Amino acid sequence: MAERSFAKEVQKLRLGEGETFTGEGILAITKALLECGVGYVGGYQGAPISHLMDVLADAQDILAELGVRFEANASEAAATAMLAASVHYPIRGAVTYKGPVGVNVGSDALANLASSGVNGGALIIVGEDYGEGSSIMQERSHAFAMKSQVWLMDPRPSLPTIVRGVEQGFELSEASNTPVMLMVRIRSCHVTGTFTTRDNRRPEMTVADALANPSSDFNRVVLPPMSFVQEQDKVKNRWPAAMKFIKEQGLNERFGPRQAPVGIVLQGGMYNGVIRALQRLGLADLSGDSQIPLYVLNVTYPLVPDEFLSFCEGKEAVLVVEEGQPEFIEQAFAAMLYKAGARIALHGKDIFPMAGEYTGQVMLDGIEGFLRAVAPAYLPAQRLAPNSENAPIPDLSKTVPIRPPGFCTGCPERPIFAALKLAQGELGKHQITGDIGCHLFACLPPFEIGGATMGYGLGPAANAAFDGGGERRPISIIGDGGFWHNGLSSSIGNAVFNKSDSLTVIVDNYYSAATGGQDVLSSRADNATKSTKHPITAALKGVGVEWVRQIDRTYDVPKMLATIREALTTDYKGPKVIVASSECMLNRQRRERPQRNQAIREGRRVEAPRFGVDEAICTGDHACMRLSGCPSLSLKVLDDPLRDDPIASIDTSCVGCGNCGEVADAAVLCPSFYRADVVHNPSERDRKRARFAARVIGWLQSRRAARRLTFTGETA
């Protein structure tokens, strides 16, 4: 169950010749693939291209009509390996990566694919996830394109350019027998717009056709001596063919006047930001016509020296707008100018920040700083006047409270880490590693559990150095998504093989929740096109794990605590694994809330549990928050002069998971939590019970009030 359904939107994929498509960049890319006659598609989900896989999954009937094979791959490595179909056959194939981490995972297969070369167009759509909104480490995919000599496209963030880039990517791949990476940033993935569609094309050769006529070529195998020949083929044939295609087809673009003292060279993905900055400086109009010459690199690797040097002719200074570090493009251009003996001032990272996202303000400051230094005549008089700087942006950190990321309300992973924290309170602090996924939030307050992550599915492997025995057993966290992605072999199999005396907690929330809630092998829902309901415990026992415990309700904190305590104190030597299973609350709410609302609208009786805190009992020690951290738990100040400390309070976002009460019970904190069931469309019996309860409560309240000592304020 993905976090969003595209069942309605995918019908736009059926648009034909001359019709107008309106929508998001992700859906436009899918339409472009079908228009280009792609034969097979696959990949691994993850921001910012998660929805591309979701769109493909929802469009499988359309793909089937065209004879297109769709594969939801286990990882980016598996996706890249699938592109081997384009090595021997003239079939166009496309796969998706989650940003630079996806490139990291797929790099082994990518290197082999780049070495052997391809016959059919092979396109890798990389969701470049860079900047402060990113969920990953800050790296660029550019280095892998250079290392393996895979061509890298970075189209302007507009739907017509992106759609054209998909077609050009396939053509460039086929013209140079080289895989092509098409980089789409967050801006491109979610930009909206329109483009004129074409008819979808059935692939000239489908995978079924290839199976009917198998082919092979020993020269494509990446082994000596063929690998040495393949390297020469890259340099002598593929690279020149790519340069020739880029120049002849005009993949890179030039805008603005042909002659000017200055110019700007930019990655295609930076175009919208550059144009907006020029507009704010009065140097471009609303249609994008620029007074400054622009050289837009829709292909950022390989660079074309002739194009760049031609752009630089007659200019005194050129600015390179290149987001991220190192400054690969700027360095390459500097070398070109040096070899050509050109006396042109080249600016880039000396004006722009070396690292960090080029936001609108950063772009404005950088371009204005460049023009102020080398061509102040371009700037309006008011920008040059003293004291003309904009008012400083207020520091909101003094007024807006810091809000670290954390688990969602009702998240079933919260009680797991509450139990782990309680266990460490009893047994002492343990060496704990985390893993990629929602559970990584446990390293932050209030849990502060796990301080390292080395990659998806590598949580237990990251603790391998500590598995040799010691006073306390190391603990590793891994999610079900990471388990099936890489963890079964690299982490669990590794622990079994090395007889590791450790504990691994597998957080099983039924989905690959961190990438958008897609199904995995162990998902418990029915999936019409995928095989689910394969227990993680069966896989564990299959690779030799003997000590396995399954918990099917993580909200049972006392049971979680007892099981963790057993794993950390047992005499059994060897890997111990606890599979802690409860459905992701977000996905559960996505499924149940519409059903509940529909039932209420139809007049059916519906109970909705809610939890609260008894103000008279709560002591205000806030231990519940230190062991829960649920967003629905907050503070409330009482109107009581004798009670200065605020008490705990539960707001209306509560989903009734019961974790706060379970934690209170397990930690023997306090009895202040209570449960109340909100009844929608109550029956007559419910109403009678409510009236009776109200009368009893009213009588008890009046009885207590009658016994209370009061003072009237009168004196004798």
Confidence of residue 51 (pLDDT cuts 50, 70, 90): confident
Mean local confidence (pLDDT), 312-317: 96
Question: And the tokens for 702?
Answer: 């009046």
Confidence of residue 16 (pLDDT cuts 50, 70, 90): very high
* pTM for this entry: 0.86
Position 674 pLDDT exceeds 90 = no
- Mean pLDDT, rounded, of the chain: 89
What is the number of other CB atoms lying within 10 angstroms of the CB of residue 14? 15
Percentage of the chain surpassing pLDDT 70? 95
Q: Which of 124-133, 194-203, 206-215 has the highest mean pLDDT?
A: 194-203
How much is the pLDDT for 711? 66
Alpha-carbon gap, residue 614 to 687, rounded angstroms: 24
Position 667 pLDDT exceeds 80 = no
Q: What is the DSSP letter of 402?
A: P
Position 389 pLDDT exceeds 60 = no
Alpha-carbon gap, residue 327 to 573, rounded angstroms: 51
Position 49 pLDDT exceeds 80 = no
Alpha-carbon gap, residue 283 to 372, rounded angstroms: 13
Alpha-carbon gap, residue 503 to 508, rounded angstroms: 16
DSSP code string of 371-400: HHHH-GGGS-HHHHSTT-SPPPPP-GGGTS
Higher per-residue pLDDT: 224 or 713: 224
Alpha-carbon gap, residue 189 to 515, rounded angstroms: 15
In contact, 513 and 440? CB cutoff 8 Å:
no
> Which among 486, 482, 415, 421 is positioned nearest to 448, based on CA atoms?
421
Alpha-carbon gap, residue 438 to 509, rounded angstroms: 10
Angle between helical axes of 159-176 and 25-35 (0-180°, round to 10): 40
- The residues, any chain, with a CB within 8 Å of residue 711's CB and separated by 6 or more, are none
Pairing type for strands 20-24 and 69-72 reads: unpaired
DSSP code string of 514-580: GGTSEE-TT--S--SSS-----HHHHHHHTT--EEEEES-TT-HHHHHHHHHHHHH-S--S-EEEEE
Question: And the tokens for 553?
Answer: 């309700």
Lowest mean pLDDT among 72-86, 664-678, 686-700: 664-678
How much is the pLDDT for 404? 72
How much is the pLDDT for 473? 93
CATH 3.40.50.920 fits 252-384, yes or no: yes
Pairing type for strands 40-43 and 93-97 reads: parallel
Instruction: Say whether 301 sits in a helix, a strand or coil.
Output: strand
Instruction: Say whether 326 sits in a helix, a strand or coil.
Output: coil
Instruction: Say whether 404 sits in a helix, a strand or coil.
Output: coil
How much is the pLDDT for 371? 95
For residue 215, the number of C-alpha atoms closer than 13 Å in the C-beta half-sphere is 18
User: Distance from first CA to last CA of the chain, Å, rounded?
Assistant: 76
* Fold assignment, 13-248: Rossmann fold (3.40.50)
Confidence of residue 99 (pLDDT cuts 50, 70, 90): confident
Alpha-carbon gap, residue 548 to 567, rounded angstroms: 9
CATH 3.30.70 fits 605-705, yes or no: yes
DSSP code string of 344-361: -EEESTTTS-SSS---HH
Alpha-carbon gap, residue 651 to 631, rounded angstroms: 9
Instruction: Say whether 224 sits in a helix, a strand or coil.
Output: coil
Question: And the tokens for 75?
Answer: 């990882």
Sign (positive/negative) of CA torsion 288, 292, 295, 296?
negative
DSSP code string of 139-192: --SHHHHHHHT-EEE---SSHHHHHHHHHHHHHHHHHHT--EEEEEEHHHHH-E
What is the number of other CB atoms lying within 10 angstroms of the CB of residue 150? 22
Mean local confidence (pLDDT), 144-158: 94
How much is the pLDDT for 456? 86
Mean local confidence (pLDDT), 532-554: 96
In contact, 227 and 220? CB cutoff 8 Å:
no
Percentage of the chain surpassing pLDDT 90? 61
Confidence of residue 243 (pLDDT cuts 50, 70, 90): very high
In contact, 664 and 637? CB cutoff 8 Å:
no
* Fold assignment, 414-587: Rossmann fold (3.40.50)
Query: Do 13-248 and 252-384 agree at the fold level?
Result: yes
How much is the pLDDT for 616? 84
Confidence of residue 668 (pLDDT cuts 50, 70, 90): low
Position 384 pLDDT exceeds 90 = no
What is the number of other CB atoms lying within 10 angstroms of the CB of residue 97? 29
Question: And the tokens for 542?
Answer: 């299959």
pLDDT in tens, 429-450: 999 998 888 888 888 888 888 7
How much is the pLDDT for 207? 92
β partners of residue 579? 506, 550
Residue at 15: amino acid letter: L
β partners of residue 69? 40
In contact, 90 and 119? CB cutoff 8 Å:
yes
Q: Of how many residues is the chain composed?
A: 716
Chain mean position to CA 199: 32
Alpha-carbon gap, residue 415 to 404, rounded angstroms: 19
For the chain, give every domain's residue range: 13-248, 252-384, 414-587, 605-705
SS3 track for 252-303:
CEEECCCCCCEEEEEEHHHHHHHHHHHHHCCCECCCCCECCCEEEECEEECC
pLDDT in tens, 691-713: 999 999 999 989 888 887 776 66
